[in-house]
Chain A
Amino acid sequence: MPVTIHKDIVCTFCGALCDDLEMHVENNKVIDVKNVCGIGRNKALHGDNDKPECRVYGERATLEEAYDASARMLAQARSPLVYGFSSTVAEANRVGVELAEILRGGLDNCSSYCHGPGVLARQHVGLPTCTLGEAKNRADLVVFWGANPMESHMRHFSRYSVQAKGMYTPLGRKDRKMAVVDVRPTPSSKNADLFFQVTPGSDYEIATVLRALVLEMPLPTLTDDSLVGGVPLARWRELVELIKQCKYCVVFFGIGLTQSQGKDLNVEQLIRLVSDCNRYTRVYAMPMRGHANVNGNNQVFVWQTGYPLAISFNRGYPRFNPGEFSVIDMLNRGDVDAAIIVATDPAAHLPYTAVDALKKIPTIVLDPVNSLTTEWANVVIPVATSGLSAAGTYYRMDNVPIRLRKIIDCEWPTDLEVLQNIKERVLNAKDH
């Protein structure tokens, strides 16, 4: 069989969505990938291989039987949950929202336990932000706060931030300064010009002091030797001076900020800091979104319901309350009596108490590969892999939508098709 070379393919591993991959396909199988990180390569080579069986209560079933069983479970439930979507296309997200509305159920996505607090902070104080293209072409200072892209977003440095050669940064790394704020040395911090090893849980306090320094407010209880978050104040002054003197700074924040003590309040304070810095120079903030399309979840949920996560339709209209309607809290309290999980693996991600709660209720899972959840879910529906055997739209971490192409064929339907089929059957069952 001849080898077909597909260029400018989008990697669907992390939120950086590198769109310059070259995939070599032979006999409907990806045999080689170029311009890709180690994880992206593994996903591209094996993302469509290990398909689960289509099963209903452990027995092999046809797709039609699986759709019927799923619709029956969901239609009978009094508090169903539609959850996941972080690794599927925006079009499937949209049908997921429709399904949740028809079911009058809960709706949540994976940002509820990763970058959701950043989204909540953005709702409260806004977000001065830019695109990754601007970061590449203009930024002469990049700050990573609670993020370790060398291990989580492996090509971020070379494509967008530290080493990327842009219009006003032709020398790449030599044209840039880099600072890292983290609780421990990481492969990313080893590349940094300035590294601040901070005490865990002190981000809010640090951002507050940095704001005071930027605004030149008195700090009478502190001297240059006083420790703020485990780092002397004099060193924080150094960072503030660096920011004030740069031409264009981008602060990339990760889960180290959004999931440590303070959560959304940490991000709120960081965003306020970034806003304050704009009195002196251009400074922007950007979340280092993890799963490839978790940003797309927030985008679709917001334009469909008005809210980005933790939504309940049980009154027939969307209500939003993280803590009350977020997936982990609902499962821990036993507020859910059936769940449909799309493109995520809760058994691997959620606390065991939440996983135990899922195991006790009828659970339907749509997954392109075998996972810890497909082992015990009541209904397992194999699906095509987004970006390999399914086309659609993903949103990059800087809110830029990127179109994924289908490059190989798959015998199984896409998430979108499965959700549409289940939705139709639920509509019939509920006699809408």
Chain B
Amino acid sequence: MKRIIDLRLTQTPRLPLEAERLRPDLLAGMSLEEIYALPLLYGNQMAAAGEFLRGEIREMEDGSGACLILRGDFARVKRLGQGMQSGELIIEGASGFHTGAEMEGGRIIIRGDAGDWLGAHMTGGVIQVLGNAGHWAGAAYRGKMQGMRGGAIIINGNAGRMTGSKMRGGLIAVRGDCLEFPGYCMNAGTILVAGRSGRHIGSGMVRGTIIMREGHELLPTFYRNCTYQPPFWQLLRSYIEEQGLMLDGWDADCFFERYSGEALCGGKGEVLLRHSA
């Protein structure tokens, strides 16, 4: 039995609404009345979720677990799905800051654009964005040394600055472009950007893998190693395709120029630039 909680945003919040309680695993056992009574931080006071949301709960024979569907423009709503451990969260519109931050499991699908700090510090689960993502996707908050540690963020559109900054594990795949400093100070994990990237790719990276297409200029502290076919590429590519991201021109048998860096930070990171055929 699968429980579907289908909620619609009845009014766009005038001020930011912090809705970390809106996550499928927490709402799974609640009635609609209980959901409407949930306190959400609205400005500096609490407001009942029912002031902004209306909807229904359906039961489906097929499947199991909980699925929370949020319909409307949630760009002013922060922390949706923060810390969720299981279930499915589908946002039929844009989502605000910190969506899926500290997430441990489950799946989030955002059909619009996602705000900044998408999946920051996440340790598991999958976030799929059909629009664009903001800055600091999968990154660490200020003062923290490790960002995303596991799971996957799949972005169909573009990503902002500092994508995967200080990430420690997991995968970020961007079909479009990203802005400056992808993989800044990353410790481990994989970032793939299929489009163009802003400058300073992987600056300060200690370990981890950044995959880009050819033609990107790296900092002089990245050293070219060889041209090769990494053994993991086919696995990575098929995983990304399983998550619904089709990469045109990124064949299973393509070659990569391998650069190691950043030399100032030990040089154990790698940047793979797809070799032109």
Contacts and interface: CB of A to CB of B under 8 A. Distances in A.
Tell whether A pairs with B.
Answer: yes
Interface of A: 77-80, 103-105, 120, 123-124, 204-205, 208-209, 211-212, 215, 217-222, 228, 261-262, 265, 272, 313-315, 320-324, 333-335, 337
Given A78-B45, A315-B41, A205 B143 contact: no
A140 to B, nearest CB: 27
A324 B116 contact: yes
B223 A220 contact: yes
Interface residues of B, number: 29
A321 B44 contact: no
Q: Sort A-B residue pairs by CB-CB distance and give the 9 closest, nearest first.
A: A78-B43, A104-B44, A79-B43, A314-B44, A219-B220, A79-B15, A221-B220, A222-B220, A217-B263
B41 A204 contact: no
Contacts of A222: 220
A220 B43 CA distance: 54
A208 B220 contact: yes
Contacts of A265: 181, 184, 200, 203
Interface in B43-60: 43-45
Given A79-B43, A211-B264, 12 more contacts: A78-B15, A79-B44, A105-B44, A205-B199, A208-B220, A209-B220, A215-B264, A217-B263, A219-B220, A220-B223, A323-B136, A337-B14
Given A78-B42, A217-B221, A337-B15, A322 B97 contact: no
Secondary structure call for the B interface: loop
A334 B13 CA distance: 11
Contacts of A337: 14-15, 43
A335 B15 contact: yes
A148 B27 CA distance: 57
B76 to A, nearest CB: 8
Contact of B203 (A78, A104, A208): A208
A2 B184 CA distance: 64
A219 B223 CA distance: 8
Contacts of B42: 78
A167 B123 CA distance: 56
Contacts of B219: 205, 208
Nearest to A204: B200
Interface string B159-202: 00000000000000000000011001000000000000001100
Contacts of A215: 264
Contacts of B239: none
B15 A323 contact: no
B139 to A, nearest CB: 11
Given A217-B263, A324-B97, A337-B15, A314 B41 contact: yes
A219 B45 contact: no
B72 interface: no
A200 B181 CA distance: 17
Contacts of B117: 324
Nearest to A205: B219
B160 to A, nearest CB: 10
Contacts of A218: 223, 263
B11 to A, nearest CB: 15
A103 B43 CA distance: 11
B274 interface: no
Q: For A124, A222, A314, which residue has the most chain B Cβ atoms within 10 angstroms?
A: A314
A323 B139 CA distance: 14
Given A79-B15, A205-B200, A265-B181, A219 B43 contact: no
Nearest to A314: B44
Given A78-B44, A104-B44, A323 B223 contact: no
A208 B221 contact: yes
B228 interface: no
Q: For A105, A261, A272, which residue has the most chain B Cβ atoms within 10 angstroms?
A: A261
Contact of B142 (A120, A211, A221, A334): A120
Interface in B240-277: 263-264
